[in-house]
Chain A
C-alpha cells in the first residue's frame, strides 16, 4: 500500500518496531527452548534459553527507557472512555489489555529468570545453586513457569488477531511504521493520535 506523505499517520517509530520484533523473536525462542523439552523434544536448550533471556531483558530495558515519557504512557493508559466503548485514540482497549498482560508476564519471567542465571555455569561466572534457600527457588520456579504458560496463551491469541484480514493493517504498521489515514480502522480517532498530522 502506498500513500502520500501527507496521508500517512505514523504509528510506530523505528525503535519501537525494532523492540517489538526483537522481543517477539526472543520470546518465541524462550518459549520453544523452555517448553519443547517438557513435551519430549530433547536438545541442549539451556544456553539458547538464557542467551535469549538476556536479549529480551536488554530489549525491555531499552523499551522502558524510551517509553517512560508522559506522551507514550498516555497512549497505553486505560481510561473511562475505553470502558464506555468510545472510539480509541491510538490503541483500542483490547490492544492496551494485551500490552499490559504481556508486559506483566514478561516482567515476571525476567524478574524470576535472572536469579536463575546463578544456577548455571557461564563463561562469566560459576554456578551457585545455594544462593537462595530451596523454598525460595521453589517460589521463583513456580512464578517463572506460570508466567511463561500465560505468555504462551497470550502469544497464541496475539498472533491469531494479528493475522486476521481486518487487523492486517496493524501488522503492516508494525513493519513499516505507518498507516494511511484512509486505512485507519473505524474504532480509532486518528485526530487523537499523538503525532498524527491533522
Chain B
C-alpha cells in the first residue's frame, strides 16, 4: 500500500513475500505426488 497525490491509501501491488509461498505450494504438490508414487510402487512390488 502507498499514498496517492491526495494522501489517500492506494494499492501498489502484491507483497513479494508471497513468492516463496507460491514456490512452496508447487514443491509440496510435487514432493507429495512423488511420495505417493513411491508408496504405490512398493505396494505393487
Chain A residues in the interface with B (C-beta under 8 A):
35, 38-39, 133-135, 137-139, 141-142, 144-146, 149-150, 152-154, 156-157, 160-161, 164
A149, B18: Cβ atoms under 8 Å?
Answer: yes
Check A139–B11 contact: CB distance below 8 A: yes
Are A135 and B11 in contact (CB-based, < 8 A)?
yes
Instruction: Knowing A38-B19, A39-B19, A160-B33 are in contact, say whether A153-B12 is a contact too (CB < 8 A).
Output: no
* Cα distance A149–B33 in the bound complex, in angstroms: 21
CB distance from B45 to the nearest CB of A (A): 15
Q: Is the Cβ of B26 less than 8 Å from the Cβ of A152? A: yes
Determine the distance from Cα of A135 to Cα of B19 in the docked complex, in whole angstroms: 23
**Interface residues, chain B, with chain A CB atoms under 8 Å away:** 4-5, 8, 10-14, 16, 18-19, 21-23, 25-27, 29-30, 33, 37
For the complex of A and B, list the 5 residue pairs with the smallest distance between their C-beta atoms, beginning with the closest.
A138-B11, A156-B26, A145-B14, A141-B13, A149-B22
If A38-B19, A152-B22, A153-B25 touch, whether A135 touches B4 (CB-CB below 8 Å) is yes
Contacts of B13 in A (CB 8 A): 138, 141-142, 144-145
How far apart are the CA atoms of A141 and B25 in the complex, in Å?
22
Q: Does more than half of chain A's interface fall in helix, strand or loop, or is it mixed?
A: helix
What chain B residues lie within 8 Å of A146 (beta carbons)?
A: 14, 18
In the complex, the answer to whether A157 meets B26 with C-beta atoms within 8 Å is yes
- B33 and chain A: residue at smallest CB distance: A160
Smallest CB separation, B18 vs chain A (Å)? 6
Whether B26 contacts A153 by the Cβ 8 Å rule is: yes
**CB pair A141 B29 closer than 8 Å:** no
CB closest chain-B residue, reference A39: B19
In the bound complex, do residue A149 and residue B14 qualify as a contact, i.e. CB atoms below 8 Å apart? yes
Docked CA distance A45–B9 (Å): 29
Listed A/B pairs (5) with beta-carbon separation below 8 Å: A133-B4, A135-B4, A149-B14, A156-B23, A156-B26
Check A149 against B10 for contact (C-beta < 8 Å): no
Q: Which residues of B contact A133 (CB under 8 A)?
A: 4
Known: A138-B10, A138-B12, A152-B23. A157 touches B18 (CB 8 A): no
User: Which residues from chain B contact A142 at a C-beta distance below 8 Å?
Assistant: 11, 13-14
